[in-house]
């Protein structure tokens, strides 16, 4: 039986989600490199806006957040919204 799109997306993001949960900097960088193409444009909300690939995402978002709030938590939800695949990550 073929894997549905949500199971596929969850499996593809599992290493990144685990790396962010455990937050070891080298693991987070490696996980981002495994999920994003090096030339990917990462679109985020203000103040981040558009970032250059996984290195930009790590250097501008994850590294400063971890330094500022070491026990910050991240939760992810993957499913369907308006008949489209949706990925939501939120912090607390």
pLDDT digits (tens), the chain, 92 positions: 567 887 888 888 888 888 988 889 999 999 999 999 999 999 998 999 999 999 999 999 999 999 998 887 767 777 777 777 776 766 66
* CA pair distance 92, 74, nearest whole angstrom: 7
pTM of the predicted model, to two decimals? Answer: 0.73
Residue 85 is predicted with a pLDDT of 75
47: preceding bond cis by omega (within 30 degrees): yes
Residue 4 is predicted with a pLDDT of 83
* CA pair distance 56, 28, nearest whole angstrom: 13
């Amino acid at each position: 039986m073929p894997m549905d799109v949500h199971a596929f997306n969850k499996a593809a993001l599992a290493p990144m989600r685990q790396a962010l949960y455990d937050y070891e900097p080298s693991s987070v960088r490696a996980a981002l490199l495994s999920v994003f193409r090096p030339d990917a444009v990462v679109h985020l909300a203000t103040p981040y806006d558009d970032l250059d690939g996984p290195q930009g995402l790590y250097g501008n978002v994850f590294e400063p957040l971890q330094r500022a709030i070491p026990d910050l938590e991240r939760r992810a939800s993957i499913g369907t919204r308006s008949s489209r695949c949706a990925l939501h990550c939120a912090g607390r």
